[in-house]
């Protein structure tokens, strides 16, 4: 059903810490690895070893440069996947009911057997979270690893999305935003978690933690007790270098 639930029992989603992400793309690889062989159709590649390779990914990492006026420039690595929006425009536009938002946990999923591959949901998503698989001709998107998080065949520590489990920097967090005491709710409250493209009114569940400002990136100049010993010793050079020094000094425009 493409009608959105007014409330979901749980509100599962991710917190992505832009301060911590090092841009290693490990989440991209683990996501592709898990999801190409589990939920639904595989994530195909086209011309993978050729001149124009492309493929279906559910998670991609962009990198941006910010140049604040009064602070040093900053590079921010920016992982982006489905934000499992509360007001998900991708769900309501779907003509077949293939797209839906689960009442029990708020995960937005595609029933691939009902997908006609019209692509309208991808057009409706501001975040580029949905990609049409060019081999299977159905819409693929992040499932929040719905086949891991409830999977009792996996050890308990593995029952979280593949991207979160794999992140070597600890920049990705998974939890229930409906629970004010959860790890994700706490992080959002403490670090000022923010929405992407809030003006689109999608009410994304996933939140991003802004990078901490780099205002004190340049420390106070240190006093070096060896400095006097390291001063240049040759105050009056002789020989060829001395001649060169004096000659260059005489040239205009120095």
Among 37, 190, 199, 236, indicate the residue that binds another protein (CB under 8 A): 199
Q: Quote the tokens at residue 154.
A: 């996996």
Closer to another protein by Cβ: residue 14 or 138: 138
Closer to another protein by Cβ: residue 69 or 250: 69
Least gap, CB of 95 to another protein (angstroms)? 4
DSSP character string of the chain? --SPPS--S--EEEEEETTT-----HHHHHHHHHHTSSSSS---EESTTSSS-EE--SEEEEEEEE--SSS--EEEEEEEE----TT-HHHHT-SSS-EEE-TTT--EEE-GGG-----HHHHH-TT---EE-TTT-SEE---TTHHHHT-TTS-GGG-S-HHHHH-TT--EEEEETTSTTSHHHHHHHHHT-B-SSGGG----SSEEEPPPP-TT-SPPPPP-TTGGGGS---SS--HHHHHHHHHHHHSTT-
Residues 203 to 232: which contact another protein by CB under 8 A? 208, 210-211, 213
Least gap, CB of 105 to another protein (angstroms)? 21
Least gap, CB of 180 to another protein (angstroms)? 22
Closer to another protein by Cβ: residue 154 or 169: 169
Q: Does 24 bind another protein (CB under 8 A)?
A: no
Among 65, 152, 156, 222, indicate the residue that binds another protein (CB under 8 A): 65
Q: Does 96 bind another protein (CB under 8 A)?
A: yes
Residues 25 to 64: which contact another protein by CB under 8 A? 28, 52-57, 60-64
Give the residues lining the site for another protein (CB under 8 A): 1-3, 18, 28, 52-57, 60-69, 71, 74-76, 78, 80, 89, 91-98, 114-120, 122-128, 131-132, 134, 136-138, 194-201, 208, 210-211, 213
């Amino acid at each position: 059903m493409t009608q959105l639930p007014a409330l979901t029992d749980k509100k599962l989603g991710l917190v992505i810490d832009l301060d911590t992400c090092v841009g290693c793309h490990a989440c991209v690889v683990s996501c592709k690895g898990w999801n190409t062989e589990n939920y639904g159709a595989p994530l195909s590649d086209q011309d993978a070893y050729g001149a124009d390779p492309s493929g279906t990914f559910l998670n991609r990492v962009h990198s941006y440069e910010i140049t604040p006026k009064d602070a040093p420039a900053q590079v921010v690595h920016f992982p982006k996947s489905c934000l499992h929006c509360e007001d998900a425009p991708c769900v309501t536009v779907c003509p077949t009911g293939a797209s839906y938002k689960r009442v029990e946990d708020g995960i937005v999923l595609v029933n691939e057997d009902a997908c006609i591959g019209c692509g309208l949901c991808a057009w409706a998503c501001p975040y580029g979270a949905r990609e049409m698989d060019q081999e299977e001709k159905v819409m693929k998107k992040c499932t929040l690893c719905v086949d891991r998080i409830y999977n009792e065949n996996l050890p308990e520590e593995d029952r979280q999305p593949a991207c979160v489990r794999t992140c070597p920097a600890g920049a990705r967090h998974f939890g229930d935003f409906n629970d004010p005491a959860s790890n994700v709710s706490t992080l959002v409250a403490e670090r000022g978690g923010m929405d992407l493209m809030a003006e689109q009114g999608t009410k994304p569940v996933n939140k991003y933690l802004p990078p901490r400002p780099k205002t004190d990136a340049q420390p106070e100049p240190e006093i070096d007790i060896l400095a006097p010993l390291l001063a240049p010793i040759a105050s009056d050079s002789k020989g060829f270098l001395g001649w060169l020094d004096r000659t260059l000094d005489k040239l205009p425009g120095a």
